[in-house]
Amino acid sequence: MNISGSGSSSESVREFILLGFPCSREIQVILFMFFSIIYLLTLTGNGAIICAVFWDQHLHTPMYILLGNFAFLEIWYVNSTVPNTLIDFLSETKTISFTGCFLQLYFFFSMGSTECFFLSAMAFDRYFAICHPLHYATVMTRQQSFNLAISCWVCGFLWYLVPVILISQLPFCGPNAIDHFVCDSGPLLTLSCAPAPVSKLISYTLSSLIILLSFFFILISYALVLLAVLQLPSASSRHKAFSTCGSHLSVVLLFYGTIMVMHVSPGSSHSTLMPKIMTLFYAMVTPLFNPLIYSLRNREMKNALWKVLEKFKMSLKVFDSRPSRSVK
């Protein structure tokens, strides 16, 4: 993967300028503070889910193993874009190197692809648990759930590799200003000095395939789950199944609703502001809400999070008591 900036693709352009959100210095500082709060809350919420799944033995089941991986993914998803965006809010130049731009493009799209695979895997897990409960325990073992999680990571990071390589080999001879706060494939293809119909087709096709195929797979899985749940004799069992699947579906609708507008809708007639708002929503807002959705609608997760909080409080008490003991 040659993105080092050598050769024809970087004879004139050695760096790109991310225009971000053009506004006054005062507004930039306010946006920096606002995005910083969202960033810290996202890291805290998803980190709490990871700790809960890791420490609570009752959550060492396929569903929560996948959820823990999903929370870990969300942390890296926001880290692929947000730190650089925060720096740009306070920077005068707002530049990113040629290599840094394409690394961000690769990791940003790879994380997005991996999220599609994980949401599909979680939908399949719920389908298998509810529609085939007698075989679930023997088929979806802990080892199988780890294998499924690894497969999601590998497939997600391989999915968009070819388009990134193709776009990185295009000639960029100026201008180098990207009207976005992240390095996205659309603006980069526009900045290319030569037409790139093959790269554009492959990029659009792979983006559309992963989004549409995973989305319809999830819809079919939950449609089958709904039919199975309606046939359950116990009202409490129906409520528990609806609660679990409802949280999953909420995350699916939040994520896919925005990426479909950005990467699947035909044409490119969006205003310059709309892609930024949509990207901001699925790259920052969705990872922020996911921990709230999963914890508020899940009693087991809420109990595990309370245990994590209690352990954290005990650790603080032990830490605070050490200086006093040393004084004595």
Tens-digit pLDDT profile for the chain (328 aa)? 544 444 444 457 788 999 888 888 889 999 999 999 999 999 998 998 998 888 888 888 888 899 999 999 999 999 999 999 999 998 888 899 999 999 999 999 999 999 999 999 999 998 888 888 888 888 888 889 999 999 999 999 999 999 999 999 999 887 889 988 899 888 899 898 888 899 999 998 999 999 999 999 999 998 888 888 877 777 766 676 676 677 778 888 888 888 887 776 655 445 677 888 888 888 888 899 888 887 766 777 777 878 777 777 776 666 666 655 444 4
Q: Give one DSSP letter per residue of 25-87, joined into a string.
A: HHHHHHHHHHHHHHHHHHHHHHHHHHHHHHH-GGG-SHHHHHHHHHHHHHHHHHHTTHHHHHH
- Burial bucket for residue 241 (CB in 10 Å: 0-12, 13-18, 19+): buried
* Residues 66, 287: Cα–Cα separation, whole Å: 15
pLDDT at 51: 87
State how far the Cα of 86 lies from the Cα of 182, in Å rounded to an integer. 11
**Angle, helices 98-131/62-79, rounded to nearest 10 degrees:** 160
Can you give the pLDDT at residue 7?
42
Tell me the CB-side half-sphere exposure of residue 254, using CA atoms within 13 A: 22
Name the residue with tokens 């599909």.
120
State the Cα–Cα distance between residues 84 and 238, nearest whole angstrom. Answer: 45
DSSP summary character for residue 297: T
**For residues 81 and 182, is the Cβ–Cβ distance under 8 A?**
yes
Predicted TM-score of the model (pTM): 0.85
Q: What does each C-alpha distance from 215 to 68, 101, 225 come to in angstroms? A: 21, 28, 15
Across-strand partners of 96? Answer: 16
Distance CA 90, CA 36 (A): 12
The H-or-E segment that residue 122 falls in is: helix 98-131
Instruction: Write phi, then psi, for 272 (nearest 5 degrees).
Output: -65, -25
User: Could you tell me the CA-to-CA distances from 90 to 20, 21, 29, 296 in Å, in that order?
Assistant: 12, 12, 7, 35
Contact 5, 14 (CB under 8 A): yes
Q: How many CB atoms lie within 10 A of CB 300?
A: 17
Beta bridge partners of 177: 17
